Amino acid sequence: MEHIEGHAVVDTSAPPVEPARLVEDFTPALIDVGEHGLCPGCGEPIAMRSAVEAIAELEVIQRTIAVFGIGCYTAFSNNLDVEVMQALHGRAPSLATGAKRAKPDTVVFTVQGDGDMVNEGLQEVLHAAARGERITCIMLNNGVFGETGGHMTSTTVLGQRTKNTLDGRDAEAHGFPILLSNLVAQLEGAAYVARGAVNNAGNVARTKKMLLRAFESQVAGEGFSFVEILTMCPTGWFVDTQEAPGYLSEHLGSVHGVGVLKDRAAERVAS
Amino acid sequence: MTVTSEPRASRRLLEGSEAIAEAMIAAGCRFFAGYPMTPFTEVLEHMAAKLPAVGGVCMNAESELEAVGMAWGAAATGTYAATGSTGQGLSLMQESLAEISFARVPLVVLNMARAQGDYYQATRGGGHGDYRHLVFAPMDVAEAVELSQLAFHLTARWRNPVLLFGDYYLAHTTQSVAVDPIDFGPVPAPEWALDGSTGGTGRARLVSPLGGGKRRDDVGYDLSEHYRDCAAATEEMLDTVEPLVDTGFVDDAEVVVVAFGTPGRYIRAAVRSLRDDGAKVGWVRPISLVPFPSEAVAGAARGARAVAVYENNQGQMIDDVRLAVLGACPVRFIGGLSLDHSGFGIAPDLDVAVLRERIAAVLRDAKER
Amino acid sequence: MTAEVLTRGTVVIDVEACKGCDLCIDACPPRVLVMTEHLVNTRGYRYPLLLAGCTGCRACAQICPDFVFQVYKYETPLSLALPEPAETGQPTA
């Protein structure tokens, strides 16, 4: 150990010399390159990590197809050791439907942002859910269109300051946010609907469980599965990276409530 | 391409929509998605009835946007897929049709059009960016049966969407046809297609309108390189695919009439009728609209006094005719909007007597000059 | 008498990958990560330093958006002796 800036620190420049086992590598096996241009403190890579770890844990990688929407997270569409079909803004659920119907033995999931899914693509996700399409849709919800610079979406909460609602979203002028998980849960075809978050380690772990459960639901043929993940966007929220996790709980989490909204398998066990 | 006339046991009386559906299935189509809209609706009905029996899937999409999306997703797995609509529905699909071209995904698209005002949409592409679709316009049910199958062959060969330009008449006319599978030759196996199997191997496949390159360092997608590759592939396709055309009496024609689709049948009849009276007229009927049979048109125009263009719109294909003729002789428009109150192209013009007179007028005028 | 801290795990930190977002600091349950104050990597970002007492719980790796951490768990927990302050008079953490 040595002193750096007044702290007694451990050498972290190389693996330990004492006998130790590696419990977590830099990147999960299914992410090709760790470096990306997403902002410091962005929650999307955290969610991507959880998603691919869930796929790896279920051992379904050799029959998995991911369908990406368009947003900051699109940076991962050509950076995964997962087969990927790139869709247009809002259109991932229809592509996922075609892929799954053509190849019913595959595990098909979408990765879309809130702007992609709830603005441009609202009808696509609702129709897929209503049909009970055996796909898993994942929404990375940060309440803004991140890639274009942080603009209001259909999930932006009242009072939230964005690039085109600089005085905060106002119900009179801009209407109210859509709580998509709540809408989807009402549809008969939806078998598993959950909303998680990645603003602290506990939530990351709980979200990972939701993702596992959603994929299991698909594999079991229960119907449409859906995981919404609240992610930090300090840039879009005009806050420092350390403040973003708190901002997420206080502003987004208070409206888009975290938890499991529907679990058909659990209902069956309970009844 | 001619309609075969030998009697065959496999001939049946089939409405165009049904014949096209059977032809697509004979060609290997196993996924179809569509939204009802006149006069495309019956194709969807027939695919919904026939596909499950051959282990295929027909989706009743909730919108045209979702229909083309579903077809894209299925096609990206290597499944032979198709979608369609009429002009308005195709308008809705344009962003996806453009991006499917950049994703190099094979797809057959039907436009059961209302009249012929969709020529620009079909041949110039109503979407954004530099892409081209191969376009074929059958004049009758028998041709549609062959062209539907050719479409699947060409889209798989070139990994580029192919459009079949039909219309109300084609959809609802009953004709005696044999829907026999046609072998157009081998196409490369779809090694690019997705089925999950390359996941986790270090070489997971990617089907993307942004390019096929995976990130290996600081560089993500290179759109400049990708669009150039797409342009090169399009150029090769257009240079290699032979234009399809049907010509009649062009060797000594003083007036050559150019028409496509259902009107092409009527023009052929009008020209034959005028020939019976000794008039030196002929026809050039483009069957492929892309690639346009410019050489055939140019060749026919070389010895003619005038070229007449008939189309059921305000003049769209005439642009391509003028480009092919390149001033060799005058090009006269004898078409126009010819509809009934439904707007579906129940055309008063499609009457041999009417068309005869229009062609004869061009001939008279050409001789006077 | 030097302090000793039971340490069950350790991390390798890819300093150059870090974008200084601070998420790992609050995520660490035993609070053994601290951000540098003045030291920065070649891109100009501050980065985390590891104190004694890591449990190898992987929370830092799970929360980090930039894949900065590699986490190890010792076969046998170590008892790390905190060094005396340096001659310049810097206090121990």
Residue B115's domain spans which residues? 11-178
Integer Cα distance of A124 and A184 in angstroms = 12
Would you tell me how many other CB atoms lie within 10 Å of the CB of residue C42?
Answer: 7
Residue at token pair 């790896």:
A56
Is A163:A149 a contact under the CB 8 Å cutoff? Answer: yes
Instruction: Quote the minimal CA–CA distance from A249 to chain B in Å.
Output: 33
Count how many pairs of residues, chain A against chain C, have C-beta atoms within 8 Å.
157
Supply the mean pLDDT for chain C: 91
CB-closest option in B57, B69, B195 to A95: B69
The confidence score (pLDDT) of residue B4 equals: 53
- Nearest-CA neighbor of C34 among C77, C78, C85, C92? C92
**Among chain A residues, CA nearest to B211:** A78
- DSSP string covering chain A, please? -EEETTEEEE--SS--SSSEEEEE-SS-TTBS-----SPTT-SHHHHHHHHHHHHHHTT-GGGEEEEE-SSGGGGGTTSBSSEEEE--TT-HHHHHHHHHHHSTTSEEEEEEEHIIIIIITHHHHHHHHHTT-S-EEEEEE-SEETTTTSEE-TTPPTT--BTTBTT---HHHH-----HHHHHHTSTTEEEEEEEE-SSHHHHHHHHHHHHHHHHHHHTT-SEEEEEEE---HHHHT--TTTHHHHIIIIIITTS--EEEEEHHHHHHH-
Report CB contact under 8 Å: A245, C69. no
DSSP state, C91?
A: P
Report CB contact under 8 Å: C68, A1. no
Q: Is C89 on the interface with A (CB under 8 A)?
A: no
The confidence score (pLDDT) of residue B202 equals: 93
B228 part of a folded domain = no
Show the domains of chain A with their CATH numbers. 38-270 (3.40.50.970)
Report CB contact under 8 Å: B196, A107. yes
B210 part of a folded domain = no
Instruction: Quote the minimal CA–CA distance from B65 to chain A in Å.
Output: 8
Same structural domain for residues B140 and B287?
no
Judging contacts by C-beta atoms under 8 Å, the chain A residues touching residue B207 are 84-86
Report CB contact under 8 Å: A127, B95. no
The confidence score (pLDDT) of residue B215 equals: 80
Inform me whether the pLDDT recorded for B218 exceeds 90. Answer: no
Tokens, residue B334: 């004898």
B32 part of a folded domain = yes
Secondary-structure breakdown of chain C: helix, strand, coil percentages, each rounded to the nearest 5: 15, 30, 55
B163 part of a folded domain = yes
CB-closest option in B71, B201, B218 to A35: B218
Judging contacts by C-beta atoms under 8 Å, the chain A residues touching residue B194 are 65, 83-85, 99
Percent of chain C having pLDDT more than 70?
Answer: 88
**Among chain A residues, CA nearest to C90:** A6
Judging contacts by C-beta atoms under 8 Å, the chain C residues touching residue A21 are 72-73, 75
Same structural domain for residues B159 and B36?
yes
**Among chain C residues, CA nearest to A31:** C67
The confidence score (pLDDT) of residue C1 equals: 53
The confidence score (pLDDT) of residue B48 equals: 98
Which portions of chain A are predicted below pLDDT 50? none
Same structural domain for residues B261 and B344?
yes
Same structural domain for residues B143 and B253?
no
Same structural domain for residues B165 and B251?
no
Same structural domain for residues B31 and B133?
yes
For B306, the 3-state DSSP assignment is strand
Q: Positive or negative CA dihedral for B311, B315, B317, B321?
A: positive
Secondary-structure breakdown of chain B: helix, strand, coil percentages, each rounded to the nearest 5: 40, 15, 40
- Which H/E stretch holds residue C33? strand C33-35
Length of chain C: 93
Pairing between β-strand B288-290 and β-strand C4-13 as defined by DSSP bridges = unpaired
Q: Report ipTM for this prediction.
A: 0.94
Same structural domain for residues B364 and B254?
yes
Instruction: Return phi, psi of residue B14, to 5°.
Output: -130, 140
Instruction: Return phi, psi of residue A210, to 5°.
Output: -60, -45
- Nearest-CA neighbor of B72 among B138, B136, B155? B155
**Among chain B residues, CA nearest to A124:** B66
Same structural domain for residues B78 and B173?
yes
CB-closest option in C45, C69, C81 to A24: C69
> How many degrees, rounded to 5, is the angle at CA B65 between CA B62 and CA B71?
90
Same structural domain for residues B272 and B357?
yes
Show the domains of chain C with their CATH numbers. 4-75 (3.30.70.20)
For B22, the 3-state DSSP assignment is helix
Is C35:A7 a contact under the CB 8 Å cutoff? Answer: no
Q: Is C77 on the interface with A (CB under 8 A)?
A: no
Q: Which chains touch C (3 or more CB pairs under 8 A)?
A: A
Query: Going by beta carbons, is chain C in contact with chain B, meaning 3 or more pairs sit under 8 Å apart?
Result: no
Q: Residue B83's domain is classified under what CATH number?
A: 3.40.50.970
Write down the number of H helices and E strands in chain B.
12, 15
Give the model's confidence band at B16: pLDDT under 50 very low, under 70 low, under 90 confident, else very high: very high
- Mean pLDDT of all residues in B54-66: 97
Sheet containing B245-248: give its strands across: B245-248, B281-286, B255-258, B306-309, B331-333
Inform me whether the pLDDT recorded for C87 exceeds 70. Answer: no
- Mean pLDDT of all residues in B352-362: 97
Report CB contact under 8 Å: A10, C22. no
Instruction: Return phi, psi of residue B286, to 5°.
Output: -60, 130
DSSP state, C85?
A: P
Supply the mean pLDDT for chain B: 95
**Among chain A residues, CA nearest to C32:** A9
pLDDT in tens, C23-34: 999 999 999 999
Same structural domain for residues B127 and B19?
yes
B225 part of a folded domain = no
Report CB contact under 8 Å: B77, A107. no
Report CB contact under 8 Å: B73, A32. no
Q: Residue B312's domain is classified under what CATH number?
A: 3.40.50.920
pLDDT in tens, B72-127: 999 999 999 999 999 999 999 999 999 999 999 999 999 999 999 999 999 998 89
CB-closest option in C11, C39, C65 to A42: C65
CB-closest option in A12, A41, A45 to C50: A12
Integer Cα distance of B42 and B14 in angstroms = 12
Q: Is C68 on the interface with A (CB under 8 A)?
A: yes
Residues 6+ apart with CB under 8 A from B270: B257, B352, B355, B356, B359
Is A99:B193 a contact under the CB 8 Å cutoff? Answer: no
Inform me whether the pLDDT recorded for B21 exceeds 70. Answer: yes
Domain endpoint, select from B135, B155, B178? B178
For an interface test with C, which of A1, A5, A24 has the most C Cβ atoms less than 10 Å from its Cβ? Answer: A24
Inform me whether the pLDDT recorded for B312 exceeds 80. Answer: yes
pLDDT in tens, B121-175: 999 988 999 999 999 999 999 999 999 999 999 999 999 999 999 999 999 999 9
- A-facing residues of C in 8-27 (CB < 8 A) are 9-15, 17, 19-23, 25-27
Q: Cα separations (Å) of B316 from B245, B311, B322?
A: 18, 8, 10
Judging contacts by C-beta atoms under 8 Å, the chain A residues touching residue B99 are 88
Q: Is C6 on the interface with A (CB under 8 A)?
A: no
Integer Cα distance of B243 and B247 in angstroms = 12
The confidence score (pLDDT) of residue B1 equals: 45
The confidence score (pLDDT) of residue B216 equals: 67
CB-closest option in C21, C73, C91 to A40: C21
Instruction: Return phi, psi of residue B71, to 5°.
Output: -65, -40
Report CB contact under 8 Å: B77, A65. yes
The confidence score (pLDDT) of residue C92 equals: 47
Report CB contact under 8 Å: B207, A86. yes
Inform me whether the pLDDT recorded for B345 exceeds 80. Answer: no
- Mean pLDDT of all residues in C2-16: 93
Integer Cα distance of A124 and A227 in angstroms = 16
CB-closest option in B66, B75, B95 to A94: B66
Total count of domains within chain B: 2
Report CB contact under 8 Å: A49, C70. no
Instruction: Quote the minimal CA–CA distance from A253 to chain B in Å.
Output: 31
B362 part of a folded domain = yes
Query: Going by beta carbons, is chain A in contact with chain C, meaning 3 or more pairs sit under 8 Å apart?
Result: yes
Judging contacts by C-beta atoms under 8 Å, the chain B residues touching residue A106 are 77, 195-196
Is B143:B173 a contact under the CB 8 Å cutoff? Answer: no
CB-closest option in A37, A83, A127 to B199: A83
Instruction: Return phi, psi of residue B5, to 5°.
Output: -120, 5
B203 part of a folded domain = no
Integer Cα distance of B358 and B366 in angstroms = 12
Residue at token pair 């980065």:
C47
Q: Which amino acid is at A227?
A: V
Instruction: Return phi, psi of residue B247, to 5°.
Output: -125, 155
Judging contacts by C-beta atoms under 8 Å, the chain A residues touching residue B216 are 32-33
For an interface test with B, which of A79, A103, A117, A122 has the most B Cβ atoms less than 10 Å from its Cβ? Answer: A103
B183 part of a folded domain = no
Q: Which amino acid is at A251?
A: H
Inform me whether the pLDDT recorded for B3 exceeds 80. Answer: no
Please give the sequence-ordered ranges of beta strands (E in DSSP) within B71-122, or none if there are none.
81-85, 108-113
Report CB contact under 8 Å: A31, C72. no
**Among chain A residues, CA nearest to B210:** A86
Tokens, residue B276: 């019976």
For B266, the 3-state DSSP assignment is helix
**What pairs with residue B332 in β-bridges?**
B308
Instruction: Return phi, psi of residue B15, to 5°.
Output: -70, 150
The confidence score (pLDDT) of residue B343 equals: 82
Length of chain B: 369
Instruction: Quote the minimal CA–CA distance from A158 to chain C in Å.
Output: 26
**What pairs with residue A20 in β-bridges?**
C74
**Which runs of consecutive H residues, i.e. helices, occur in C5-73?**
23-27, 59-63
Residues 6+ apart with CB under 8 A from C21: A40, A41, A234, A241, A242, C65, C66
CB-closest option in A2, A8, A41 to C65: A41
